Amino acid sequence: MRPMPIAACLALALASFAPAAIAQQAAAGNAESGRMLTYTCVGCHGIEGYKNAYPHYHVPRIGGQSSEYLVNALTEYRDGTRKHPTMQVQAQSFSEQDIADIAAFISGLTP
């Protein structure tokens, strides 16, 4: 076997782990910064039994949800892979750090 294809395969394999490492680094959020970013969230997610007008959709309580879940959900809303018009609009303004900060704050709340 020639060394060049082996080196190329190794480089490709190592590069595939880079996004996971970056995502883990970005997941370290600041809860105080997150608290300041979540002032609009409580309007829907903080009301017991809240359902929006149309289409009728139950809004989940998110306090105490895992940070990993929150990061994934907000990232998917921002990127358009998870669909909900209100959440997509909200999440589009968030940077990776904003999402990490929001997740750090919300995951620390009592469910």
Among 17-26, 63-72, 85-94, 102-111, the minimum mean pLDDT is found in 17-26
Among 13-27, 37-51, 76-90, the minimum mean pLDDT is found in 13-27
* Residue-level pLDDT at 5: 53
* Residue-level pLDDT at 40: 87
* Residue-level pLDDT at 9: 45
In 3-state terms, what secondary structure has residue 88?
A: helix
* Residue-level pLDDT at 75: 98
Top CATH class of 28-107 equals: mainly alpha
pLDDT (mean) for 52-58: 62
Q: Whole-model pTM?
A: 0.69
Q: Dihedral sign, CA of 51, 57, 72, 85?
A: negative
In 3-state terms, what secondary structure has residue 6?
A: helix
